[in-house]
Amino acid sequence: MLDNGDLENAKSMSIIVTKGSLDWAYPPFILGTTAAAMDVNVTMFFTFYGLPLLKKKLNMKFTPLGNAAMEMPMMGGHMAMPNLLSVMPGVGGMAGKMMKNLMAKKGVASIEDLREAAVESDVRMIACQMTLDLFEYSKDDMIDGVELGGAATYMESALKSDINLFI
């Protein structure tokens, strides 16, 4: 297997990660790690609510609120998760727990595992400096290997990439 990372014709992808809830954390990490496994150079730029996904200790929440079409498998059928319910105390926490249990049961990787795979496969992870300042995080809150940068840093990478995603 060639290490395409060193080749001029290697493919590359960039992803802007803007959301940090449990469900929204999956698409960027699944695509980022899979692309890296397929010898694609991957850059992930974490900004706004996506930034906490780089924190050493992850604490992702999940809510059915705003996911109007969401259904959970339930006793052989599917149960809608009405938005109205999600404003009741405790429902958000319950939905998060249900989702994590379901994922574990179905052999879906945890975000922690996928993030570790991203680090191992040399995915370039950039924390947005402005978001860091805005929400008062420090680089010490973040996992090792994270770079700091801004819009221009992202653009330089995006202009050279074959695929650019905003998630």
Token pair, residue 90, equals: 């405790």
In whole angstroms, the minimum distance from the beta carbon of 15 to other proteins comes to: 14
Tell which one of 1, 75, 88, 159 touches other proteins (CB under 8 A): 1
Tell which one of 19, 24, 27, 39 touches other proteins (CB under 8 A): 39
Q: Stretches 34-42, 63-71, 86-94, 126-134: which one binds other proteins (CB under 8 A)? A: 34-42
In whole angstroms, the minimum distance from the beta carbon of 135 to other proteins comes to: 30
Q: Tell me the C-alpha to C-alpha distance, in Å, between residue 154 and each of 8, 15, 98, 166.
A: 20, 9, 36, 12
Burial class of 158 by CB neighbour count within 10 A (0 to 12, 13 to 18, 19+): buried
Q: For residues 29 and 25, what is the distance between their CA atoms, to the nearest angstrom?
A: 7
Residues 114-133 binding other proteins (CB under 8 A) are 114, 117, 120-121
Contact between 38 and other proteins (CB under 8 A)? yes
Token pair, residue 98, equals: 């249900």
Tell which one of 12, 18, 21, 33 touches other proteins (CB under 8 A): 33
